[in-house]
Amino acid sequence: MQALIKQGTPKLMAFDLDGTLVDSVPDLANAVNATLADLKLQPHDQNQVRGWIGNGAQVLIKRALSGDLKGDVPTELFEKVYPSFLTYYAEHLCIDSTLYSGVKETLQALQQSGITLACITNKPSQFTAPLLEKLGLASFFDYVASGDTFIEKKPHPMPLLSVAEHFDIQPGESLMVGDSINDIQAAKSAGFKSVCVDYGYAGEHDIYTMCADAVISQFSQLNGFLQKAA
């Protein structure tokens, strides 16, 4: 992390949502299992659901139905079940979801320093905005890009490049903070620097082989960029 900090403070910092800013597994798992219960299928524990998060809600429910990462299920079954999942999750979006330690204080400090902040997530927009509001994070972000904001989503670089272009900031002056291979691959493809948190939803991937520019265990370690700026 210190080597990355020495390269200078980024003008744009983009953050993933689930697994980076907020632990949303409890509410997602409850919505998944309520959906499965309607079909009289066995529920999954939170650790299983945790490993399936990161590619958006559609992929999550396909994985839950199949019970594996492939998520290979008949189209008819998915189309029948998916609306129920959306309803369950919308009704219980932020019951047990919690911010990770230091998130709000660090975002506030970064914002006050003048760094442009963005949230770039694969979560559908119908959930992203309400969740940010409920958690008290919405006011920190100058731009929020959800999984359906652009025609592509992470790991495609389009969301990152589009946000950087919106602010007329060069990719080389930008940083992506996330917890999964999708975040790191998107950053690499877009020309962003990248930081991976080690407490999120990396799934079957080893965070130390993702080739992120830095790995951190505490969100507050990002305050190191403020020290460099000072």
Map out the domains of the chain with their CATH numbers.
2-23+98-229 (3.40.50.1000), 25-91 (1.10.150.240)
In sequence order, what are the beta bridge partners of 14? 118, 176
- φ and ψ of 145, to 5 deg: -115, 120
Establish whether the linkage from the previous residue to 74 is cis, with ω within 30° of 0: no
Which pTM was predicted? Answer: 0.92
SS3 assignment, position 167: coil
The answer to whether residues 99 and 92 touch, using CB atoms and an 8 Å cutoff, is no
Q: Which residues are within 8 A (CB) of 111 and not within 5 positions of it... i.e. 6 or more apart? A: 117, 140
* Whole-number CA gyration radius for the chain: 17
SS3 assignment, position 193: strand
Averaged confidence pLDDT in the chain: 93
Catalytic residue among 16, 27, 183, 213: 16
The verdict on whether 198 is a catalytic residue reads no
- Better-scored residue on pLDDT, 94 or 7: 94
Query: Over the stretch 20-70, which tens digit does the pLDDT of each residue have?
Result: 999 999 999 999 999 999 999 999 999 899 889 877 789 999 999 999 989
Start-to-end CA span in the chain (Å): 17
**Which segments of 67-102 does DSSP mark as H helices, in order?**
75-91
- Nearest alpha carbon to residue 145 among 124, 116, 175: 124
Q: Which residues are within 8 A (CB) of 109 and not within 5 positions of it... i.e. 6 or more apart? A: 223, 226
In sequence order, what are the beta bridge partners of 120? 145
Query: Over the stretch 85-143, which tens digit does the pLDDT of each residue have?
Result: 999 999 999 999 999 999 999 999 999 999 999 999 999 999 999 999 999 999 999 99
SS3 assignment, position 66: helix
